[in-house]
Amino acid sequence: MASKKTNIMILGSGGREHVLGWKLKQSPSCGKLYFAPGNGGTAQLGENLKIDPDKVTTKVVDEIDYFCRHNDVSMIIIGPEDPLAQGMADRLAREGRTIFGPVAAAARLEGDKAWAKQMMRAASIPTAEAKVVDNYEAAVTYIESREGGMVVKAAGLAKGKGVYVCDNAQEALAAVEDIMVKKIFGEAGDQVIIEEKLQGQELSVLALVDGKNIYVLEPAQDHKQAYEGDKGPNTGGMGAYTPTPLATDELLRMVERHILVPTVDVLKRDGIEFKGVLYAGLMLTPAGPKVLEFNVRFGDPEVQAMMMRLKGDLVQIIKATAEGKLDTVDISWDKRCCCCVVMASGGYPGEYQKGKVIKGLKEAAAMEGVEIFHAGTKLSDGEILTNGGRVLNVCAMGKDLKEAQAKANAACKVIQFSGAQYRKDIGFRVMK
């Protein structure tokens, strides 16, 4: 007899949630997929529910719980950081239910950068030198005592926008003013971290952690700046590729030994079990890799590129992670390269308009090796409309990065919506 299929709910509405649904659907044990709230792409894979998981209120928790009990949903995947930081995983836990995502005490690694910094110091994890301040005057005094570049960060969650990379004290003072005086991120800016500005290439190392075992996923390189050549303001991520020649076996062993293992251990020492995705955002400095930040969920758009290469049954991989049995699943990787290009709305990451009709999706998706994941889109009367800053993730596989990038760019060219912007140079830092 065939084993029972698993009905799955995915919380979130971005490209990360679309690609996870796409990959889960390839598993023989995947049943029905529900997305809360999902987007125009996920609507074509399963059912979108009118539930917004970003604010973890009793009403939202009850809605999700009720839906899962009445629709035989036994796996819940929590995509974004906000619900994790607010304890969604803790509050949805039930006997017989698989929850993918860490409990709030562990999610604090991402949700409270001041605490994460302290933890890294306590565990001797290499990271940027930093000062944590909790009032404006102290921030000003500290900044005025420093020279050169600095990075100013709101300690709490700010939808990926709370980081200011500054060239001088003047810029840093303006950043602190935004965060602590104008309070543009609300209470996420009650504390500020002022860091030394590190130089080097960035690398995202993501690992599955099941409480005791750590499986390091194939690393990817993200592109945070809005414009080609890594110019312009910080964004949620404008593109990613994997594999990357930056991630040598030696580097990964070192990251595992000196960053990932001590992080999981130091939490364990405090009675906190980490289960889910541990994401170390690294700067590869001349003095070795240093942690810029921890995230506690899949990176977006890194995971789009990673899932294109993952071989293995994602339903089983997620079950194994939740059950502490990561050592029992098969995970391997397509040797080819995947390049993911983010198509964004004109004006992003600043102000942008929504509701633009998107054309050419079918034609682009039909191109060899190309898959398109939706981020900020919605399905309306049979048309796909833009509905966010990052709109689409155009992924292409190629024998190498050059080919994958060329194919992704060619697919982007076929897709049209008013104001569309994207970077044609994803991967440029490692391309000759």
User: Rule CB under 6 A: which residues touch ligand AMP?
Assistant: 128, 151, 153, 163, 165, 195, 197-198, 202, 224, 234, 281, 283, 292-293
Q: Which does 237 bind (CB under 5 to 8 A by kind): ligand GLY, ligand AMP, none?
A: ligand GLY
- According to CB under 6 A, which residues from 196 to 225 bind ligand GLY? 222
Task: Name the token pair of 351.
Answer: 């102000």
Taking CB under 6 A as the criterion, the residue among 300, 313, 371, 425 binding ligand GLY is 300
Task: Name the token pair of 137.
Answer: 């005057």
CB of 72 to ligand GLY, least distance (A): 31
210-218, 298-306, 341-349, 400-408 -> range binding ligand GLY (CB under 6 A): 298-306
DSSP for residue 421:
B
From the CB of residue 184, how many other CB atoms can be counted at a distance below 10 Å?
15
299 scored as a contact of ligand GLY (CB under 6 A):
yes
245-253, 295-303, 316-324, 399-407 -> range binding ligand GLY (CB under 6 A): 295-303
DSSP string, 246-290: T--HHHHHHHIIIIIHHHHHHHHHTT---EEEEEEEEEEETTEEE
Q: For residue 375, what are the contacts with CB-CB under 8 A and spacing of at least 6? A: 14, 15, 18, 39, 300, 342, 388, 390, 391, 392, 393
Taking CB under 6 A as the criterion, the residue among 17, 82, 218, 302 binding ligand GLY is 302
Taking CB under 6 A as the criterion, the residue among 295, 321, 345, 377 binding ligand GLY is 295
Q: Which does 165 bind (CB under 5 to 8 A by kind): ligand AMP, ligand GLY, none?
A: ligand AMP
Q: Alpha-carbon distance 300 to 298, whole Å?
A: 6
CB of 225 to ligand GLY, least distance (A): 12
Taking CB under 6 A as the criterion, the residue among 12, 237, 243, 427 binding ligand GLY is 237
165-173, 293-301, 304-312, 334-342 -> range binding ligand GLY (CB under 6 A): 293-301
Q: Alpha-carbon distance 351 to 353, whole Å?
A: 7
Q: Which does 300 bind (CB under 5 to 8 A by kind): ligand GLY, ligand AMP, none?
A: ligand GLY
Task: Kindly tell me which of 173 and 194 has the beta carbon lying closer to ligand AMP.
Answer: 194
What's the alpha-carbon Rg for the chain, to the nearest Å?
21
Q: Which does 156 bind (CB under 5 to 8 A by kind): ligand GLY, ligand AMP, none?
A: none
Are 337 and 243 within 8 A, CB to CB? yes
150-158, 294-302, 311-319, 370-378 -> range binding ligand GLY (CB under 6 A): 294-302
CB of 328 to ligand GLY, least distance (A): 28
Q: Any idea which residue has 């919506």 for tokens?
A: 417
Nearest residue relative to ligand AMP (C-beta): 293
CB of 240 to ligand GLY, least distance (A): 7
CA distances from residue 416 to 295, 349, 373, 392 in whole angstroms, order as listed: 33, 19, 15, 11
Task: Kindly tell me which of 99 and 247 has the beta carbon lying closer to ligand AMP.
Answer: 247
Q: Alpha-carbon distance 106 to 269, whole Å?
A: 12
Q: Which does 302 bind (CB under 5 to 8 A by kind): ligand GLY, ligand AMP, none?
A: ligand GLY
**Burial bucket for residue 275 (CB in 10 Å: 0-12, 13-18, 19+):** buried
51-59, 139-147, 167-175, 297-305 -> range binding ligand GLY (CB under 6 A): 297-305
Strands 192-196 and 150-154: antiparallel
Q: Alpha-carbon distance 277 to 378, whole Å?
A: 27
Are 220 and 280 within 8 A, CB to CB? no
Site residues, ligand GLY (CB under 6 A): 160, 222, 237, 295, 299-300, 302
